Chains A and B, each alone.
Chain A
Amino acid sequence: MTSLSIFLQTLVGGIGIGSLYALVALGYSMIYRSMGLVNFAHGSIYMIGTYFGIIWYRGMVMGLQVPYPIAFVIGILLNALLGLFLERLFRPLAHLDLMLMLLGTIGLGYVLDNLAVIIWGAEGFAVKSPLPNEPIVIGGVALLPQMLLLIVVSALLMIGLNVFLARSKMGKAMRAAAQDRETASAMGIPVNTTNALVFAIGAGLAAAAGILAAPIVYVNPAMSAAVGLKGFAAFILGGAGSIPGAIVGGLVFGVLEALSAGFVSSQYTKGIAFVVMILVLMIKPAGIVGEVTVDKV
């Protein structure tokens, strides 16, 4: 293998895992810009969403074995429903100052994480990919079909989200509510409803990310902390509240991790990614794309 193809290989792996972070970061970002809530429980929502899909695929619900695409859709819908319910719980938290918000959302994360352990056990399991396990080789770069699926579906979801926000009436209402809550509600936009939908979309995206990545990573309740933290890092890195920021942040963080694992030290992957992130924030305190100012209630 030439050094160029090794580099490309690493890059593609980074983009794959970066898509996962980006989808999680989008949830953070959408909730932040519409409610002003920094939701530290989003990692737990991601983990629950993964289980919501994978339990059907693995036949853990009444022995029903459901095909992967259907499990994928069920998981997203169930998690979106959970998001609608959680928005109601989180609503009072959005009015508090950061320290209390931090603690309140962490508390909710605690509850979700431990309920998951009670229901599904702490051990976790590996998930078999619905696609063949032979890597596809394109131009010297070997790619697992599941990784390709993750990248492609994530990209489609991100494009879909952007189109939805830019074109549809509901998407426009969401953007309006995020920009100026008072005026939006004066114009007849039901702000609480749009917030609930934003929460549902965030949860749905997190579930999608989790179910797509499940055959690549290992599924257990502890993954909420690891991916939650990285998704949060991506959200901050790109610029809190910015939709393109979350995507850029996720991809940059994923690629950074992969490159440092491939070329510097595999043990220090996480450390290097964090150090670079801290440096970026010191140079550009509002993130790569820039923070979207939030109209807090």
Chain B
Amino acid sequence: MKNRSRMLKWILLAVGALVLLAYPLIAPNRYTVHIVNMAGIWILMSLGLNLAMGYCGQINLALGAFWGVGAYTAALLSTRFGVPIWINLPLGMALAGLTGALIALPMLKVRSHYLALVTIGLAETINIIMVNETWLTEGPLGISGIPMPNLFGIAFDGAERFFYIILFFVVLGFLVARQIVNHRIGRAFIAIRDDETAARAMGVNVAFYQVLANAIAGVYCGVAGVLYAHMSTYISPDIFEFKNALFVLTMTMVGGMGSLAGSIVGGLALPLTQEWLRAIKHWQLVGFGLAIIIVVLFMPGGVVGLTQKIEQAGGIRLPWMRKPAEDKPQMEEPNVA
């Protein structure tokens, strides 16, 4: 029984991997590949947000700014100095991570809805800098002609080839996030989220981990930004506005805040649904808003939380779910005669 479910899990994983690897070949057209690439970028940002907000409990609405810092780093270095993507990546990550750490500093002093506002304010300020410092960022016109990458002699031009770069970073990002969560850092995050005072009493350096959580969110968004710049070849400040931070927040909540799988589910589901409903335009956004309300009121754990609930209620365990921590001895039904 145990072996069978494990085998089923591996088979599912293998089939999933195969479908993913073959996706650019079986996709009906280039646009559908592009949409999935974009979903990959959203997933990376959602993973970062999930670590900071879902695990460490830090409200952060400045994701758009981190994303923008990563994207502008790549865009400027590649168009002005011809720097290749593999140098832009660590630089973009470092700068975005630094921005994350800087934004975290007021967090040490300010709480809850005040904090929400402070992060919005800082993100807006960074966006205003992007619009106005024309000498650096070309202002509202944006930067065009960012080259698509060329790695190991292979030109990753076109969405089909870029897909594999995105896939690589999403898988890597997910695995790293899982390591972080299972590591001492992750345990400190969860302790801080659940009870800050208790965590402090247990000797957790709360301030350090809060800054770290936001720096990690920054790094994830930095990767997303560098990839986005090289993928779309054009960026402008309006892409990094507040509404996209909200989009990431929404997809993470819908998927499941505090669960890495939630980021994947939400990061795929929302952009794809949005694309699917594009024809009905504003009604689509109305539906989107209603969907958010339904999630908030009836399934606050998101889709992942809901499957866990179903599992607990009905004893159904879907193959991809982790097995229970320990096998409790089955209680006998009390015989009420």
- Could you list which residues of chain A lie within 8 angstroms of chain B, going by C-beta atoms? 38, 92-93, 96, 98-100, 102-104, 106-111, 113-115, 117-118, 225, 229, 232-233, 236, 240, 267-268, 270-271, 274-275, 277-278, 281-282, 285
Contact = CB atoms under 8 A, between A and B. Distances in A.
A274 B122 contact: yes
Given A107-B292, A274-B122, A236 B286 contact: no
A98 B58 CA distance: 11
Nearest to A106: B246
Interface stretch (B37-45, B90-98, B109-117, B329-337): B109-117
Contacts of B293: 104, 107-108, 111
A168 to B, nearest CB: 29
Q: Which 3 A-B pairs have the closest CB atoms?
A: A107-B292, A110-B289, A274-B121
A157 to B, nearest CB: 25
Contacts of B288: 107, 110
Interface stretch (B123-131, B142-150, B152-160, B316-324): B123-131
Contacts of A233: 117, 121
Contact of B296 (A96, A109, A268): A96
A280 to B, nearest CB: 11
A285 B286 contact: no
A285 B110 contact: yes
B121 A93 contact: no
Nearest to A28: B113
Contacts of B243: 225
A104 B106 contact: no
Given A98-B112, A118-B282, A118-B283, A281 B289 contact: no
A20 to B, nearest CB: 18
Q: Which of A100, A115, A268, A278 lies at the interface centre, i.e. has the most chain B CB atoms within 10 A of its CB?
A: A278
A271 B132 CA distance: 11
Contacts of A38: 113, 116
18 contacts: A98-B59, A100-B253, A100-B296, A103-B250, A106-B292, A108-B289, A110-B292, A114-B283, A117-B282, A229-B124, A232-B117, A267-B128, A268-B128, A278-B106, A281-B114, A285-B110, A285-B111, A285-B114
B292 A103 contact: yes
Nearest to B253: A103
Decide if the interface of chain A is mainly helix, strand, loop or mixed: helix
Contacts of B246: 106
B296 to A, nearest CB: 4
Contacts of A118: 282-283, 286
Interface in B272-301: 282-283, 285-286, 288-293, 295-297, 300
B121 A277 contact: yes
A108 B286 CA distance: 9
A271 B128 contact: yes
Contacts of A113: 285
Contacts of A236: 113-114, 117
B250 to A, nearest CB: 7
Contacts of A111: 286, 289-290, 293
Interface of B: 53, 59, 106, 109-114, 116-118, 120-122, 124-125, 128-129, 131-132, 242-243, 246, 249-250, 253, 257, 282-283, 285-286, 288-293, 295-297, 300
Contact of B118 (A114, A115, A267, A281): A281
A226 B172 CA distance: 38
Given A98-B113, A106-B246, A268-B128, A278 B121 contact: yes
Contacts of A229: 120, 124
A281 B296 contact: no
Contacts of B116: 38, 98, 102
Contact of B286 (A115, A232, A271): A115
B53 A99 contact: yes
Given A267-B132, A278-B121, 13 more contacts: A92-B297, A100-B300, A102-B116, A103-B249, A103-B292, A111-B286, A111-B289, A118-B286, A236-B113, A268-B132, A274-B122, A277-B117, A278-B106
A282 B285 CA distance: 36
A60 to B, nearest CB: 19
Given A96-B296, A233-B121, A271-B124, A285 B289 contact: no
Given A99-B257, A118-B283, A285 B132 contact: no
A229 B286 CA distance: 21
